[in-house]
């Protein structure tokens, strides 16, 4: 049978989601505990490969087991071993051809930042502190230029040769949550490496007046990483939802 888990985690102390031989990762911790519980090696598939320090509220993980097992039992035991740093929100049996990665049709990320005279220790683990003037209207105008199908080479680490960086962005918007807290929402079929953080870094520079809102379309057309700003730090980013 195949089981899918809906997983949330605080990525602060992990070297990303994907397993690494000599580093602590979310996938590595899940597979280690699952192998212990099921008394057999377990390999998982994740919906998104979040970077070091990036969080998730809606990561989806799937894996095969060689016998029938109660998903609720798996959820309960994993939470006893991993919570609160990693929490299995739900667990369910899924069709044998389901893949957390390849069956996904859309992924949604959030990036949070906050404005205050001094840093806030109760926010700073999950949101970026941005002091000084910041124009939300300019950042919103820049975000509108992202919607649609574009080559996002200006905002992504270069992949292997002949790999396309064309992505279709279905929604991109800044939301004012009040009390100085801002949230950037973006949804697409897929994302390339560091894409969301690079978009946020560029839009924060636009909000600060270092670039113009109208520059965003030109930066996209340039397909040149040097045209965009440096990526925003990882701790404000969260994989919010995966749609199937």
Q: Which CATH architecture has domain 106-243?
A: 2-Layer Sandwich (3.30)
What integer pLDDT is reported at residue 160 of this predicted model?
67
Average pLDDT, the chain: 96
User: How many Å is the Cα radius of gyration of the chain?
Assistant: 19
Q: What is the pTM of this model?
A: 0.95
Q: Which residues pair with 237 in a beta bridge?
A: 111
- 2-94 fold: Alpha-Beta Plaits (3.30.70)
pLDDT digits (tens, 9 = 90+) for 165-178: 999 999 999 999 99
Q: Which two tokens stand for residue 31?
A: 């597979």
Q: Quote the crossing angle between the two packed helices 136-144 and 215-222, to the nearest 10°.
A: 40
27/227 Cα distance (integer angstroms): 34
H-type helices in the chain, by residue range? Answer: 26-38, 71-82, 136-144, 195-207, 215-222
189/193 Cα distance (integer angstroms): 14
Domain with CATH 3.30.70.660 in the chain: 106-243
Domain with CATH 3.30.70.580 in the chain: 2-94
CA trace torsion 100, 106, 107, 112 (10° rounding): -160
Q: In 3D, which of 167, 174, 162, 104 has the Cα closest to residue 135?
A: 174
Q: Which two tokens stand for residue 84?
A: 């609160």
Q: Which residue has the tokens 């090696």?
A: 41
Q: Which two tokens stand for residue 137?
A: 């209207």
CB 11 within 8 A of CB 50: yes
In the set 10, 51, 205, 215, the catalytic residue is: 51
Q: Quote the crossing angle between the two packed helices 215-222 and 195-207, to the nearest 10°.
A: 150
What is the SS3 assignment for 84? coil
pLDDT at 18 over 70: yes
Q: Which two tokens stand for residue 130?
A: 């941005």
Q: Which two tokens stand for residue 101?
A: 């990665």
pLDDT digits (tens, 9 = 90+) for 190-217: 999 999 999 999 999 999 999 999 999 9
What integer pLDDT is reported at residue 158 of this predicted model?
78
Give residue 110's Cα distance to chain centre.
7
Whether 51 is catalytic:
yes
pLDDT digits (tens, 9 = 90+) for 115-165: 999 999 999 999 999 999 999 999 999 999 999 999 999 999 877 677 899
What is the SS3 assignment for 202? helix
What integer pLDDT is reported at residue 145 of this predicted model?
98
């Amino acid at each position: 049978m195949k089981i899918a888990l809906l997983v949330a985690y605080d990525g602060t102390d992990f070297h990303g989601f994907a397993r690494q031989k000599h580093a602590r990762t979310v996938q590595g911790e899940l597979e280690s505990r699952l192998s212990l519980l099921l008394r057999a090696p377990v390999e998982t598939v994740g919906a998104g490969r979040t970077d070091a320090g990036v969080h998730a509220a809606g990561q989806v993980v799937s894996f095969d087991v060689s016998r029938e097992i109660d998903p609720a039992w798996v959820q309960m035991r994993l939470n006893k071993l991993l919570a609160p740093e990693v929490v299995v929100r739900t667990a369910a049996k899924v069709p044998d051809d389901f893949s957390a990665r390849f069956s996904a049709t859309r992924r949604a990320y959030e990036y949070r930042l906050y404005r205050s005279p001094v840093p806030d220790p109760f926010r700073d683990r999950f949101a970026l502190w941005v002091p000084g003037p910041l124009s939300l209207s300019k950042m919103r105008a820049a975000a509108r230029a992202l919607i649609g199908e574009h080559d996002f080479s200006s905002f992504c680490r270069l992949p292997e040769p002949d790999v396309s960086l064309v992505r279709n962005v279905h929604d991109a918007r800044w939301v004012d949550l009040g009390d100085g807290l801002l949230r950037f929402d973006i949804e697409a079929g897929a994302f390339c490496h560091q894409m969301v953080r690079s978009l946020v870094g560029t839009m924060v520079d636009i909000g600060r007046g270092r670039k113009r809102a109208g520059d965003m379309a030109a930066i996209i057309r340039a397909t040149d990483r040097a045209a965009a700003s440096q990526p925003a730090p990882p701790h404000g980013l969260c994989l919010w939802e995966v749609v199937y």
